[in-house]
Amino acid sequence: MFEVLTGTGLAASAGLNAYIPLLTMGLLARYTDLIDLPGGWQWLGNGWVVAILAVLLTVEVVADKVPVLDHVNDVVQTVVRPTAGGLAFGAGATSETVTVSDPGSFFSSNDWVPVVTGVLIALGVHLLKSAARPVINATTAGFGAPVASTAEDATSVVMSLVAIILPVLVLAFLLGLAAFTVWFLRRRRGRRRERQAARAAGYRV
């Protein structure tokens, strides 16, 4: 169970920021004993890979905080974030961490399953983020973009660490995400009805 929660938390984190969970795993594997990456994923702890991820993260952090540019970034990240989510779930769920001592007992076969699962989780979170950002920009005249982006980055960092150190807390994040999704969809439908009512009133005038 912990393997699934670890993978889910890392994949969801990648849906918010593609590089944070990968960089977190790479740094922790390279400099601490909190995570032991399996043979096929040890490249994440390579110095060059860590450096490249750090550069890509810097670009992502800056681009995601500028109105309009953040939309372009989200379009590009439609491919990157799910891919990172697949890598994060695959690496995290099959790693030995402080809470997972025998990951192989869960994913004993079908190695592609964790990767595909991570892709779908990250894609879902990414689509929700991409849909919410234009609404935030429109309602705040663009001033909400850096605030929302900073909150997303912080959530991604916390979620990546929690997924590795205390994966049971990932359940709380998933519940919060579900609540936000319901709220957002209701708000979006409400705004659509308001626009339709305003157009109808304009036609009558």
Q: pLDDT by residue (tens digit) across 52-63? A: 999 999 999 888
Average pLDDT, the chain: 81
Q: pLDDT by residue (tens digit) across 78-131? A: 889 999 998 888 887 777 675 655 665 555 556 677 788 889 999 988 888 888
Domain count for the chain: 1
Angle at 137 between CA 71 and CA 151, to 5 degrees: 85
pTM as predicted? 0.80
Q: pLDDT by residue (tens digit) across 158-202? A: 999 988 888 778 888 878 878 877 777 777 676 667 666 666 665
Domain containing residue 12: 2-204
Q: How far apart are CA 112 and CA 107, in angstroms?
A: 10
Could you tell me the two tokens for 91? 């690496």
**Which of 109, 200, 155 is closest to 10 using CA atoms?**
155
User: What mean pLDDT is predicted for residues 16-34?
Assistant: 92
Parallel, antiparallel or unpaired: strands 35-36 and 96-97: antiparallel
Torsion of CA 129, 134, 140, 141, to 10 degrees: 140
**Alpha carbon separation from 154 to 61, 102, 151, 190, 205 (Å, rounded):** 11, 30, 5, 29, 48
pLDDT given at position 25: 92
**Alpha carbon separation from 199 to 36, 135, 146, 188, 192 (Å, rounded):** 59, 19, 32, 17, 11
| Helices of type H across the chain | 2-16, 19-31, 47-63, 69-93, 112-139, 144-165, 170-204
